[in-house]
Structure 1
Amino acid sequence: MSERSGVFDMIGPVMIGPSSSHTAGVVKIAQMAVRVLGGIPEQAEITFYNSFARTYEGHGSDRAVIGGLLNFATDDKRIKNSFDHAKEQGFEYSFKSIGNASTMHPNTIKIEATKGEKKALIIGESRGGGVIKITNVNSFDSNFSGALDTLIIQAEDKEGSIAFISSVLSQECNIATMFVSRKGKKQMACQVIEIDHKLNQVTIDYLKSLSWIYDIIYIPIIS
């Protein structure tokens, strides 16, 4: 933010326009899907909700989400021609729109992506200024932004699991936020943990080696 003669100008993200909500935020949500999937998808189904459902074509959100799924940065000029790049790479996709999802944020996207046998589901909100909020990962509720390094851990819902994982991480980094959801008591649980700096691979490998932890996804900051 800068000030000129008492007038404040908001400095937004470096991006391909026209709008940070409709392009930069959309690209980042798609980039998050790439990271959860573990690579650029071969197929994807993208659903736009509420105001996005009515405006995604005119505001370029369709090109932005495909650009993000191709792992283009928010300021990558290729976003304008992302459909052509997707065709060149054999990436298949489809769009759906639902304009009356009253329980969802006005600018919400769901991405269901596949690569080989791997699948990923992301629901994200584009909240303005390039800021995003991921509200669901692989059918587990979540609440994170990608502004910090993030761990997504699927594990048994067993006594002491949260305390144990927190103890391991505390030896190396500070936990900024933690969000836990589960399918039911003593069933599968998902911990989404934002941390203040990069985690060493040896720590991730140790957690992966535990029999009651089924999957760990480590996502560095999405800038």
Structure 2
Amino acid sequence: MRFKDVFSIIGPGMIGPSSSHTAGAVRIGRAARHLFGGMPLQAELTLYGSFAETYEGHGTDLALAAGLLDYATDDERIRNALSLAKALGMELTFNAARDPTVHPNSVLLTLRSENREDSFMGASIGGGNAEMTKINGFDVKFSVHNPTLLVFHADRLGMLAAFTSLIEAEWLNISYMDVNRKSRAGDALTVIQTDERLSGKLPDRIRAIEGVRRVASMNLS
């Protein structure tokens, strides 16, 4: 990857020991929590590659739990995140798996509440940076560091124009957009990232568009 600044190399302010295995993992957990819409009741975490091999020694389990609790990378509570999650009623399970096709610092988070289950795969790509690579069976690739909208919708004519017109009306600049679909004229997921922070009203306005089934948003920075 191309580094944009010195913090891309040395990592963010963080509770260590590792920018990749700790700070990046916190950000993956936070992104999943925000896109899920809050703290899950249950979280099944499947770790791959070096995450699977060293997650207890490098504190990746603590970091993922902390992210799901919405802690920042430098929050002192990261050290006690597992016990704090349990006290708040979040049930966590950790599994190790092998898959040579995914990034070696990857984790699949299956989050459950009383009425919903979502799956998020994320990868820690170095220097505390992280990206999401799969959501509910859709292949995606976007950074967790930018304001993000996920729009689950029917794959039909005019959907993108409807989304972008509402975003333009909010005076937001789209920095990234990608459409993923499982089949033609079937279910689709559009990922939209903006340069500016998303307003609280925008997801509701997009949700009101005919054919939109669900909208999730993330503002981590």
Query: TM-score normalised to the size of structure 1?
Result: 0.91
Specify the alignment match of 1:48 in structure 2: 47
Aligned Cα root-mean-square deviation (Å):
1.7
Specify the alignment match of 2:211 in structure 1: 212
The structural deviation recorded for 1:10 is 4.5
Letter of the aligned partner of 1:119 in structure 2?
E
Letter of the aligned partner of 1:30 in structure 2?
G
Q: Deviations over 1:162-204 (max 9, x none)?
A: 2332233223211111111111000010000001112333433
Residue of 86, 103, 106 corresponding to 2:104 = 106
Measured in 2, the distance between the counterparts of 1:204 and 1:88 equals 32
Q: 2:152–2:213: 8 Å Cα contact kept in structure 1? A: yes
Equivalent pairs, count: 215
Specify the alignment match of 1:27 in structure 2: 26
Q: 1:33–1:120: 8 Å Cα contact kept in structure 2? A: no
The structural deviation recorded for 1:119 is 2.0
The within-5 A match list for 1:44-83 is 44-83=43-82
Give the secondary structure class of the aligned counterpart of 1:127: strand
Q: Any unmatched runs of 5+ in structure 1?
A: 3-8
Q: 2:106–2:122: 8 Å Cα contact kept in structure 1? A: yes
Query: TM-score normalised to the size of structure 2?
Result: 0.91
Measured in 1, the distance between the counterparts of 2:164 and 2:188 equals 15
Measured in 1, the distance between the counterparts of 2:156 and 2:39 equals 33
Q: Any unmatched runs of 5+ in structure 2?
A: none
Which 4+ runs in 1 deviate beyond 6 A?
none
Specify the alignment match of 1:123 in structure 2: 121
Specify the alignment match of 2:136 in structure 1: 138
The structural deviation recorded for 1:211 is 2.1
Give the secondary structure class of the aligned counterpart of 2:20: helix
Measured in 2, the distance between the counterparts of 1:63 and 1:199 equals 29
The structural deviation recorded for 1:118 is 2.3
Q: Deviations over 1:64-93 (max 9, x none)?
A: 111111111111111111121122112211
Measured in 2, the distance between the counterparts of 1:10 and 1:207 equals 37
The within-5 A match list for 1:171-186 is 171=169, 172-186=171-185
Measured in 1, the distance between the counterparts of 2:107 and 2:202 equals 33
Measured in 1, the distance between the counterparts of 2:9 and 2:102 equals 27
Specify the alignment match of 2:197 in structure 1: 198
The percentage of counterpart residues that share the same residue type is: 40
Give the secondary structure class of the aligned counterpart of 2:32: helix
Cα distance change of structure 1 residues 119 and 127 upon mapping to structure 2, 3 Å threshold: same
Measured in 2, the distance between the counterparts of 1:144 and 1:10 equals 19
